[in-house]
């Protein structure tokens, strides 16, 4: 199968863009600590926590047992 030079150049350019994008996204690691980011420390007052969630624009909360 014969591929012309324009198609070859397009394929090479697309491969270069994909490699450059993967390197760019992999270069910036997530530095947040999941324990501090995901969990909030509170006293466990569920009605107060639900009101805080509503004030923040959320419609509910997730409880862990």
State residue 28's pLDDT score.
62
How many helices (DSSP H) and strands (DSSP E) are in the chain? 3, 0
Q: What is the pLDDT of residue 27?
A: 58
pLDDT, residue 61, reads 77
> How many alpha carbons fall within 13 Å on the CB side of residue 62?
4
For residue 24, what pLDDT is reported? 66
Model confidence band, residue 5 (pLDDT cutoffs 50, 70, 90): confident
* Locus of tokens 């466990």: 44
pLDDT per residue as tens digits for the range 21-59: 777 666 566 677 777 777 766 667 888 888 888 898 988
Distance CA(51)–CA(58), nearest Å, equals 10
């Amino acid at each position: 199968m014969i591929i012309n030079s324009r198609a070859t150049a397009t394929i090479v350019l697309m491969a270069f863009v994909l490699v450059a994008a993967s390197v760019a996204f992999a270069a910036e690691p997530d530095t947040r600590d999941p324990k501090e980011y995901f969990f909030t420390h509170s006293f466990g007052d569920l009605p107060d926590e639900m009101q805080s969630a509503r004030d923040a624009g959320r419609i509910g909360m997730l409880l862990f047992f």
